[in-house]
């Protein structure tokens, strides 16, 4: 009988661990499920989530997102704005958003209809949100890699926008190479839902 408190504590711990694994597993399924969705339609803007960029131009991953966004922009001419995001990491010579903006302008998009906004997914939207609201943007198409779609849409929702999934169909990250990205996104979404994506962003920056 003397060991019953320890046994009870172990049962409680086991139950909590089991619940946590179920939660993370279900979140992972949702992240994957969202990655399979593609719902292009007329919107107020197309939001392109940033990723690696070079002084010479976008990386293959970013270029795939920009090409998808440009295709949607041409498909839905009443969609007035393109929102490009992404900051500058240590050693970078240009921000992801600036590289994206220049690429789109080179393809014929009018510069005044390109809005830009941060350093991570949350800051990307946070920095761009005020400019988006100022021109009446509410409904947005979200262009990013499939594995990143769920978190991007969730963050946009927290800022009051209505997002629709339009992940790039030509991402160079394919097959088994996506597994680490899905794991990372699952953990990020799992944590973001509990503590808030803004708090997650702050914690991430504090540990860098």
Residue spans of the domains in the chain: they are 38-170+177-206
- The model's pTM is 0.89
More confident residue, 175 or 205: 175
pLDDT, tens only, 149-166: 999 999 999 999 999 999
Which of 117, 180, 107 shows the shortest CA–CA distance to 147? 180
- pLDDT confidence band for 207 (50 / 70 / 90): low
- Of the chain, the percentage scoring pLDDT greater than 90 comes to 71
CATH class of 38-170+177-206: alpha beta
Mean pLDDT is lowest, of 22-31, 67-76, 195-204, for: 195-204
Residue 65 near residue 51, CB atoms below 8 Å:
yes
Which of 133, 175, 184 shows the shortest CA–CA distance to 156? 133
pLDDT at 118: 66
């Amino acid at each position: 009988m003397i060991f019953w408190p320890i046994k009870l504590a172990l049962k409680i711990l086991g139950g909590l661990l089991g619940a946590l694994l179920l939660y993370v597993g279900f979140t992972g399924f949702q992240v994957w499920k969202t990655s399979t969705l593609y719902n292009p339609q007329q919107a107020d803007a197309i939001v392109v989530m940033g990723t690696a960029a070079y002084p010479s131009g976008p990386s293959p991953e970013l270029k795939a997102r920009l090409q998808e966004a440009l295709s949607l922009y041409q498909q839905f001419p009443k969609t007035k704005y393109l929102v490009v995001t992404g900051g500058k990491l240590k050693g970078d010579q240009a921000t992801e958003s600036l590289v994206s903006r220049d690429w789109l302008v080179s393809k014929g998009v009018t510069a005044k209809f390109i809005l830009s906004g941060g350093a991570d997914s949350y800051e990307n939207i946070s920095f761009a949100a005020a400019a988006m609201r100022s021109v009446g943007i509410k409904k947005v198409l979200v262009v990013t890699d499939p594995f990143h779609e769920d978190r991007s849409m969730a963050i946009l929702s927290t800022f009051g926008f209505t997002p629709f999934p339009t992940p790039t169909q030509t991402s160079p990250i394919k097959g088994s190479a996506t597994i680490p990205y899905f794991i990372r996104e699952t953990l990020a979404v799992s944590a973001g839902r509990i503590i808030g994506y803004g708090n997650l962003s702050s914690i991430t920056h504090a540990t860098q």
